Amino acid sequence: MHYDAAVSMHRLLTSNPAERRLERRASPRVQDNRISSGCINVPIGFFDALVCPSVTSGAKVIVYVLLDKRPLLAVIPGLHGQYNGVAKLGS
């Protein structure tokens, strides 16, 4: 593994209440959502329902990390009609 080029994705950690991660993650402001040291923090329900089973199944998995500068449909127009712009599976 090439750890210098790796990106980590994990559940949203809430062990330090002073960081107010749940509150900041719920904020619509991009600046508030920047709450880690480079890891991708995802909602617990999303991680448990989609990420973890896919990765631990042994199947080859590709995870796309899209920049938040442009709307998803502007980047992948083929999703038009398949995606409502919100990915929520609880938290």
pLDDT of 67:
67
Q: For residue 3, what pLDDT band results from cuts at 50, 70 and 90?
A: low
Are the C-beta atoms of 27 and 19 separated by less than 8 Å? no
**Domains of the chain, residue spans:** 3-79
Q: Is the pLDDT of residue 38 over 60?
A: yes
- Calculate mean pLDDT across residues 11-24: 86
The number of angstroms, rounded, from the C-alpha of 30 to the middle of its chain's C-alpha atoms is 13
